[in-house]
Amino acid sequence: MTKDVTRIGIIGSAGRMGNALQAAIVAAGHDFAGGIDKGGDPLALAKASDVLVDFSAPGALEFNLDAAIHAGIPIVIGTTGLEERHHWLVDAAAVSIPVLQTGNTSLGVTLLSHLVKEAAQRLGEDWDIEIVETHHRMKVDAPSGTALLLGEAAAKGRGVHLADEAVRGRDGITGARKAGTIGFAALRGGSVAGDHSVHFLADNERLTFSHLAENRGIFAKGAVRAAEWLLDRDAGRYTMPDVLGL
């Protein structure tokens, strides 16, 4: 982790997450290089920064990656709701610059995903996996990026592709649960910053891993930690487990 003062720019600086990021940058002893939102100039911000942190929207990702590439600086992407084509863009950018993309920047969630992968690998298919997440009423995507991250961890532990095994919501006469599937349930309401539980259920016993986010400060702190770590890396695609050495 670098000890030097770093200029960190925020894409998606308005609102509660943007404010939390600014506070975390200052608390870590770095310089807030500025922030932009919809209609802002990502290239100008990139040129004024040592590293970018992007918590904006999927539709802006291509422009933000291009700005980081042209300025030759790393970028941390915490934007959720990404589709397959967005991941192609991240892969392409990672040829030129360091890119860290994650569905959750919390250090606790990062460790949780590691534990979920280990459990899925060791327990076997006779343990059903169900992921339940709760977020505030204003969240626009479901399942959450964190829930999908945890689902990916479980799928990797089992050596399968999440897209082949995911069940996103159930309604009506669905029939018996298919062995090996990974279920998702999303709850929305209130001002919940983010609660996630991964349930492993077998005959006569259950194991649950949970993470409860009390405020957005944990995501901001983790994003700054990721930005610090990313500065010294070669071009490539990285994840939060890399930051913790997992």
Dump pLDDT digits (tens) for 155-174: 999 999 999 999 998 999 99
Catalytic, out of 30, 117, 135, 221: 135
pLDDT beneath 50: ranges in the chain: 1-2
Structure confidence at residue 1 (pLDDT): 42
SS3 108: helix
The rounded Cα 186 to chain-centroid distance in angstroms is 17
Which H or E run contains 17? helix 15-27
Answer whether 6's CB lies under 8 Å from 227's CB. yes
Residue with tokens 């998702």: 184
Structure confidence at residue 2 (pLDDT): 44
Residue 195 neighbours by CB distance under 10 Å: 17
| Structure tokens belonging to residue 190 | 């209130």
Residue 18 DSSP label: H
Active site residue 86: no
State how far the alpha carbon of 170 is from the alpha carbons of 68, 113, 139, 174, 183, in Å.
41, 24, 20, 7, 9
Active site residue 199: no
pTM over 0.85: no
Structure confidence at residue 103 (pLDDT): 85
The rounded Cα 185 to chain-centroid distance in angstroms is 18
Catalytic, out of 47, 70, 114, 139: 139
